[in-house]
Chain A
Amino acid sequence: MKKLLGGFTLAIGCIVAGQAFAEYPTKNVDMIVPFSAGGGNDTFVRALQPLVEEQLDTTLVIRNIAGGGGAVGMSRAVASPADGYTLLAASNAMLTLEAMGTVPFTHDDFDFIAKLIEEPYLIAVSSESPYQDIESLVEAAQSGSVRVGASGVGSSAHIAANAIANRTESTFNLIPYPGGSEAMSAAMGGHVEAVVLGGAELRSALESGRLKALATTYAERSDSLPDVPTFQESGYDLTLTVWRGIAGPKGLPDEVKKEWVAAIQQIVEDGSYEQTANNLGTELAPLYGDELEAFIDESAATMREAAGDLAN
């Protein structure tokens, strides 16, 4: 009798467990955005939200847990149960914090589901600037000091600017602004000679012709900015990308990953997100599974190197 009962519960357990997985998601999924509403990370997820909700047939609850340059939201995500109901809108910021050594977690504490979009870092000058190509800017920065604005001290753009200075052997008087908008208006108003920012933030300023991008940190020229040379082709060994994707705490069930990857693949395939991504100044660059893991590890190493003397 006991055996029978045991077998019975086991069977029920299996059914329940099987169903639980087959039916993921059975409830709302919390998506932690570790920044306030309005940033690149937030807009990326909110644009994705209706598409994912349709694919997964659930409600995506976006939780802006800001603070500490993303540290608060990310550490909350690490501490959440790895059941697939608490996920994180991940980006470089995680690797930046790791490289700066200010947070108690690393990218190994996360399971990455997918990378979705990418954007380059661009170095841009005012359209009225005397430096209209990267060579003349670097030349000026090698003979004297050039003021370069970036967003937030310790932000990934700040680190990218530092890496550019190191690789081009220039002296940048690196001036941190509280955010991208302040840095851009400083460049437009001639208060700094150049800015280093992500492509999405710079997009409208570039399109309207107020700022001019001199070089991109992509390995190859991008489709959206075909006239902007890469650092590589100018002879500087520098490749950095801003990426955004979805991650969860370490130990996500395979079913969860599978469901999400399938959903995102579907969204990528039917092209419903591509236009939005392009409008936002980003490019669709999906990556999943082992390739993604290798990419993240590589990016982390690059960031650590780029942070260099800035890290504490």
Chain B
Amino acid sequence: MTQRDIGKPLFNVVLIIVSASVFVAASAFPDVNIPGDLSAAFFPKFLSGLIFILAIPCLIKDFQEWRKGGQAVSSSSISLVRGASQWLFVILLLIAYVYAFERLGYMISTALFTFSCVVGLTVLSGTWGTLSTAVKSKALAGALVFSVVLAVTIFYVFTDLFKIPLPT
């Protein structure tokens, strides 16, 4: 099942743009003269230049492959939407977790993160709608217990046993 993924050629475009801008940025490095040295900018320029050059054949190949792919394979579009939404959800949740980590402290942020992650995945994967009210509340309670127990256990293992301080 070949998925027709425009991202594959696009990723090469991103590489080309990023490497070009890295090259430009590296050209602006101040030049410190040390006898025999290649200068600070040498390797960043060399590498970004090489990535730029190598990404072009990849782009051409991936783009041709994408065009040959013909009609998008539609059989998996439901699971694709579900996958993408789950993926995006977890990334956004992770960003929120980092943001809250030192502000709310380890305990609250971790419990909230774990709880939302488990419940969120249940909802987004489509299982939620199929559950009866009783099962729903049971699932919620289970997720709650799991997240609190996980957060508390880790806290004590890390701070007491490993002496690794966590933000409170």
Contacts and interface: CB of A to CB of B under 8 A. Distances in A.
A touching B, CB within 8 angstroms: yes
Contacts of A311: none
B165 interface: yes
A61 interface: yes
B68 interface: no
Contacts of B67: none
Interface in B149-168: 163, 165
Interface residues of A, number: 5
Range of interface residues on B (Cβ < 8 Å)? under 10
A186 B124 CA distance: 58
A61 B168 CA distance: 14
A63 B35 CA distance: 41
A231 B164 CA distance: 43
A293 interface: no
B159 to A, nearest CB: 8
Contacts of A61: 163, 165
Contacts of B35: 173
B102 to A, nearest CB: 11
B95 to A, nearest CB: 21
Contacts of B163: 61-62
Contacts of A30: 165
Contacts of B165: 30, 61, 63
B142 to A, nearest CB: 34
B22 to A, nearest CB: 22
Contacts of A62: 163
Interface in A20-52: 30
A30 B167 CA distance: 11
Nearest to A175: B34
Nearest to A60: B163
A81 B57 CA distance: 56
A214 to B, nearest CB: 25
Nearest to B36: A173
A53 B46 CA distance: 53
Nearest to A62: B163
Nearest to B159: A61
Interface in A60-116: 61-63
A154 to B, nearest CB: 12
Contacts of A63: 165
A2 to B, nearest CB: 38
A30 B163 CA distance: 11
A104 B163 CA distance: 30
B166 to A, nearest CB: 10
Nearest to A49: B163
A36 B163 CA distance: 15
Nearest to A64: B164
A63 B163 CA distance: 9
Nearest to B30: A312
Nearest to A31: B165
A173 B163 CA distance: 44
A173 B37 CA distance: 12
Interface in B90-128: none
Interface in B32-67: 35
A62 B163 CA distance: 8
Contacts of A173: 35
Nearest to A173: B35
6 contacts: A30-B165, A61-B163, A61-B165, A62-B163, A63-B165, A173-B35
Interface of B: 35, 163, 165
6 closest A-B pairs by beta carbon, nearest first, are A61-B165, A63-B165, A30-B165, A61-B163, A62-B163, A173-B35
